[in-house]
Structure 1
Amino acid sequence: MALWTQHPRYSTFILFCVVGTLYLLGVHHPGAIRPRIALRKLHAHDLPTRLERSKRIYNKLLVERQGLIKKFGPNPQDIVLFPPNVAPWPPYTVWDFFPAAFNCPHEIQRLGALGDGGKWVCGVSRVEKKRDCVVYSVGINYESSFEAEILANTDNCQIWGYDYTVSSFGPQIPASALGRTHFKPYGLAGKDKDKMYTLESLMKMNGHTHIDILKIDIEHWEFETLTALIEPYLANGRPLPFGQLQLELHLWNMTFPEFLKWWEMLEAAGLRPFWTEPNLVYQNYNRAGSTDLAEYSFLNIKGSNVFIKDS
């Protein structure tokens, strides 16, 4: 009779030794399979790899957009923002050409009210402990649930708020956090004039060279304002001075070619939409059937901001 059948304890000991030896060889041998598999798995989940994957997905979307324009155009000037309800009935709206197809490489979290006022943010954990965290919020209207949650979810973020139609932040910000907020009754515009300032002018006033999170809701002035801001950066090949952008779009009195050109300027500057939702409150109460307002959140994939680079 074999030895291992006569002495089961001895057999167990031998088996343990063999398994242990194979494990140690797998860990320490240069050509071992286990470490390579582990490294591949680790590499597949690092930040640069996630960003590259997101870029590939978004680049596919750019090709599909051109196909959709050709299908319903065939040229941009042939596309209307919202087709009328008459035959032939083309199954699209302007928002179908501009989906939020970029994958945020971090957690996505809504900060602020679930109704009007809240915004979707990519990777707030990246600024949770950041010592020099800077947030700009333009367009307050006494609703500051977004700003209040930024303060609650971070240790050091300072918020600069601007709105020439009100005199302060909204009541949502607790008194204990007011020391991290700074408000001025100014507006954001494409040039400086009468309490209206460009983003660069506001940053210069505050001694800032970079903004981590920029929120803008300025009732259609976003087109003039962001055009004036972005064009010089594109001309000089510099990255935009903010990490991500939460923006409400108001497509009043615009054509599809105008919006397409403006949107492609954002993309050329490195902005990629990772979240969108229509403003259904506006649709419900103000202009029944109209869907020309939408919220977008963008990540800036150029430069070295905290959301795309590990420190």
Structure 2
Amino acid sequence: MFHLFSTNTYTNVKECVNFAVSKSDTFDGESKKSELLSYQQSFRFFDDIPDEDWKRIQEIKRRTWPNHNGKNPLDKYSHRMGTKDWKRQSNWWYAENFQEEFHCRFAERLPASGWDGLGDGPKWVCDPYRIAKQKDCLVYSIGSNGNVMFEAGVKDQISKNCEIHTFDPGASNKRFGDFGEALKPYSTFHQWALGTDKEAKRRKDIKTLDMTVTELGHEGRRIDVFKNELCEWSTFGDWLKYDIRQILVETHNAPNPGIRDFFYKLHDAGYVIFSKEGNWQNQCGGAEYAFIKLSTDFMIDGSLYENYLDK
């Protein structure tokens, strides 16, 4: 991982004070922050990264593009769900495609420790302390199966004032008991899943993201963290309609015909991958991705997939 700031050792108090004054002159005040490329291209999330460092980060990101094996991420491995070797195919595909392309200096896994079963449940979040500095914080957690550790991690490592909403069509299981009761200290539980318009018309326990946002009165609000465990391939288009800062998603069963559109469209909407890890406890077959949204101005030299497809 590269560092966004240089580290220096100061030999005397005077030198340290002079450094502090110079940094204060550079970054004090909203007007100074607004001049930074990092501030402009991150929708005010990164407000302290010098332009020289930010341009280096841009160049590192550019070098990863296109972020997949060969000319087409669907070329090398076929989709073999239901066959004996589908997990091997999936693992190979994830090993060769869509790697980390951006690094958050203070990313944290939520929760970091203190829980049983930390292999599958915690999620990487980019610089939680930056979210904590905001006036408010809104988190959606799609799919929990009664596991509350992520929600607890948000309260502990971001802010107790974060407003969290957890969605799951199930109500209870043997391991975690009643979902609503388990989540009560951390989150508001809603007993429905997110799905497509067609699915929502067929089942009462499925709602679209549009229906959900409207029902909860969140129109016009930014969703700071959107954690999704279910139906990513069919619902991701709805995510792009909203102001979502970070997307944490467990992807499954790659490759499939829609997977290229998933990664291409998220990228071209400004989402860059800052974390990727395999679901080791389930013999992989899937991967945990974390994206943060930047302005497409961050993508230098025309490094958007809409341009790649034209070649």
- TM-score computed with the length of structure 2 as normaliser: 0.65
2:142/2:166 contact within 8 Å kept:
yes
Residue 266 of structure 2: aligned partner: 266
Residue 155 of structure 1: aligned partner: 160
1:79 aligns with 2:76: yes
User: How far, CA to CA, are the matches of 2:177 and 2:210 in structure 1?
Assistant: 28
User: How far, CA to CA, are the matches of 1:170 and 1:128 in structure 2?
Assistant: 29
Residue 196 of structure 2: aligned partner: 190
User: How far, CA to CA, are the matches of 2:140 and 2:194 in structure 1?
Assistant: 11
Residue 99 of structure 2: aligned partner: 99
Matched-pair identity in %: 27
Residue 215 of structure 1: aligned partner: 227
1:277 aligns with 2:280: no
Residue 169 of structure 2: aligned partner: 164
Q: Which letter does structure 1 place at the counterpart of 2:288?
A: E
Aligned CA-pair RMSD: 4.0
User: How far, CA to CA, are the matches of 1:119 and 1:171 in structure 2?
Assistant: 22
Change (3 A) 1:170 1:109: farther
Greater C-alpha radius of gyration:
1
Counterpart mapping for 1:1-311 below 5 A: 46-47=48-49, 49=51, 50-63=53-66, 65=67, 68-70=69-71, 75-80=72-77, 93-104=93-104, 106-112=105-111, 114-153=118-157, 154-167=159-172, 178=184, 181-191=187-197, 192-193=200-201, 194-208=204-218, 209-218=221-230, 221-230=231-240, 233=241, 240-251=242-253, 254-255=256-257, 258-283=258-283, 291-302=284-295
Q: For each residue in 1:164-193, what CA deviation from the matched residue of structure 2 results, as whole angstroms up to 9, or x when unmatched?
A: 0235995799x9993652111010112233
Q: Which letter does structure 1 place at the counterpart of 2:76?
A: I
Change (3 A) 1:100 1:82: farther
State the secondary structure of the residue aligned to 1:47: coil
User: How far, CA to CA, are the matches of 1:57 and 1:81 in structure 2?
Assistant: 30
Change (3 A) 1:111 1:36: closer
Aligned residue pair count: 243
Residue 197 of structure 1: how far off its partner (Å): 1.5
- Unpaired segments ≥5 residues, structure 2: 1-13, 29-35, 39-46, 86-90, 297-311
Change (3 A) 1:181 1:131: farther
